[in-house]
Amino acid sequence: MNLSFGIRSDANSYSASMNNLVNHLSPRFSSSYTLNNKWSLNFSAGRYYQVPPYTTLGFRNAEGEFVNRNNEIKYILSDHLVSGVEFLPNESSKLTFEGFFKYYNNYLFSVTDSISLASKGADFGTYGDEEVVSESLGRSYGLELFYRHKSLIGFNVVLSYTLFKSEFKDKNGKFIPSSWDNRHILNVSGTRGFGKNWILVLNGNL
């Protein structure tokens, strides 16, 4: 059994709601239990704080006031739980299968549109430059399959597939799909080194 524990804290001078280190303690814990030389069980739990986007922190109204500072917006809070199994077929490859659950609190909620900012910003561009409050709740959960092979036909290959749901509460307190709720994510990447420090990199996602 391998165990690890850590703790972190965040604070800044933007406002009174974010300048206290004690209010933003983030403990993390992980464990791995080896069944034999090929199989192991993994578990991790942690709390994470994220500062709101700078476009939100710096937003001013027509009078030049920092509206969101006056609204005492907070760090975005996220609690993570992950559990799964790991299989090592040989020294060059690894396969993991995990389930995860993430809970979001203090997420930014648009005063103008009455919608969580999690339902904005999926496209390229600027978002968050508006009046918000830290009142949105959300969740994300699903399964992930991960495979890595250090030398597959000469390539270092990484493949992952995630099946998940992402939901945030609307103004009526009902969970609705967020803009990131595309249910399926497939990532494939491969790298191969050549002479004279040349490296071929291949990436694909869906």
Which of 106, 113, 155, 118 is closest to 130 using CA atoms? 113
**Model confidence band, residue 39 (pLDDT cutoffs 50, 70, 90):** very high
Tell me what percent of the residues of the chain surpass a pLDDT of 70.
Answer: 97
pLDDT at site 124: 54
Specify burial of residue 159 (Cβ count, 10 A radius: 0-12, 13-18, 19+). Answer: middle
pLDDT at site 126: 65
Question: Does pLDDT of 127 surpass 90?
Answer: no
Question: Which pair of structure tokens corresponds to residue 112?
Answer: 């103008």
Of the CA atoms within 13 Å of residue 112, those in its CB half-sphere come to 9
pLDDT at site 40: 97
Place of tokens 């009046």: 131
Question: Does pLDDT of 122 surpass 80?
Answer: no
Q: pTM (2 decimals)?
A: 0.86
**pLDDT per position as a tens digit, 45-82:** 999 999 999 999 999 998 999 999 999 999 999 999 99
CATH of 2-205, one of 1.20.1260.10, 2.40.170.20, 3.30.565.10, 2.40.50.140: 2.40.170.20
The helix or strand, by DSSP H or E, that contains position 120, with its residue range, turns out to be none
CA distances from 99 to 45, 82, 85, 105, 177 (A): 12, 6, 9, 21, 19
Domain coordinates in residue numbering, the chain:
2-205
Residues 6+ apart with CB under 8 A from 1: 31, 32, 33, 34
